[in-house]
Amino acid sequence: MTDLWKMSATEIADAIRSKQLSAAEVTHAHLERIGSINLLINAVVQEFPNEALASAKAVDEAISQGKDPGVLCGVPVTIKVNVDQTGQATTNGLGLQRNLIAQSDSPVVSNIRAAGGVIVGRTNTPAFSLRWFTKNDLHGQTLNPRDLSITPGGSSGGAAAAVASGMCALGHGTDIAGSIRYPAFACGLHGLRPTLGRIAAYNASGKDRHIGAQLMAVSGPICRTISDIKIGLEAMSVGGVNDPWWVPASIYQGQFPRRAALTIAPDDMPVSREIELALRDAGQRLKDAGWVVEEVSCPPMRPAARINEELWMTEMRASVDLMIEQEAEADSIFVYEQMNNRIGPMGAEDLLHALQSRAGIIREWQRFMEKYPVLICPLSGELPFLQQEDVQSDASFDRIMEAQLTQRALPVIGLPAMAVATGTVGKIPVGVQLIAGRFREDILLSAGADIEKAGPKMKIADLT
């Protein structure tokens, strides 16, 4: 039983569906894994083993009656603490919200349940889901199981750490500026940021978010294999009438030319030698798989990254400015001040100008993606940062913001993107980012599978 936590989500679902394993024994194995290693890395911060086992037994009962529980048939899943799950606190890493108990599931949670997923815990995020590092005064700091000295990423750092260490087979994450993609990159995993509207979002426990978050924030899966990303996407994207942005679009949109663009340094962003080598290696893997790969310049990203900051800060000033002060969490205060310093006052005309400029940026990118169905580019300009490096000084914060240029830009552009793990530098994970046209996650899955197939298999982190 103890080795069941090493299985991929796809392997687990297939084995349970074919009655080679029971959902109950798989869930037991993952709960035992959480019990044995979670104290070391603090990825899972809310646990409910009885509820998880009851869900697993329901999956087994459905199978015994000849029913198919769904694409996630018995797969152990974790949920990030910034989305509603019935009976659990939607803390978002805040002491202020420790008693904000959800009375209903977010659509992504209900879709996971409906697909047969078994929720085994809820995972950590930085306070306000604000950073590419995962630490807060309520739940504590999450460590990276690959290397305790580096960040597990953020804001879905708990999700990535849980997946990388075998506490779950699939982690739910959210992304407004890289919060799915960067934790996947830092923990040696794959992570998909889908097109806006692909996966429904809604938290009944709070007010609707302002326009910036409505346009940029999405949920998506973090996994150890591309096939797991596929079934995670299929499960999460079924629908949700409470999200006015949700689009009932098919995941599989038809044939496409196997042509890719490779951009090593978008907008001349600094890119380390290790990242450049990973990008060229990924490009070569696609060539070897029959793709045509051209090294070109992609459309500008800096204007989109700037709009991301403007929209995000406008919302934060309107809705969480006082909460930052009340929470009094030192790291959040520092990061918030840094972001405030980067973005001057934003009036109504400034906001309108940002949204107007966004249309032209999207238009240019859509034309580019018509020619190149997929773009290979850096996810970060550097290997994963040391823990807490962003709050060490003004200069370190600015350097990190520059390294994360592409993560900040994509949510404004509205295209789907995927972090693809490609290997390690020593024991430090490295990977690349793939970008496709709107609602063409199927292209990302195809290219990602070809890159994955030609590289080393990413094993579960050894914490012994």
**Residues whose CB falls within 8 Å of the CB of residue 17, separated by 6 or more in sequence, listed in order:** 63, 68, 69, 73, 74
| CB neighbour class for 460 (10 Å; exposed up to 12, middle 13-18, buried from 19) | middle
The residue count for the chain: 464
| Dist CA 207 CA 449 (whole Å) | 39
| Dist CA 362 CA 373 (whole Å) | 15
Name 172's bridge partners.
Answer: 221
Residue 212 is encoded by which pair of tokens? 């910036």
Of 429, 15, 453, 420, residue with least CA distance to 223: 420
User: Cα-Cα-Cα-Cα dihedral of 282, 284, 285, 291, to 10°?
Assistant: 110
Active site residues: 80, 155, 179
Angle among Cα 366, 370, 376 to the nearest 5 degrees reads 85
Of 229, 246, 228, 227, residue with least CA distance to 238: 246
Tell me how far CA of residue 223 lies from CA of 118, 173, 183, 187, in angstroms: 15, 10, 11, 10
| Dist CA 160 CA 180 (whole Å) | 8
**Residues whose CB falls within 8 Å of the CB of residue 47, separated by 6 or more in sequence, listed in order:** 34, 120, 121, 122
Is the bond preceding residue 155 a cis peptide, omega within 30 degrees?
yes
| Dist CA 393 CA 381 (whole Å) | 19
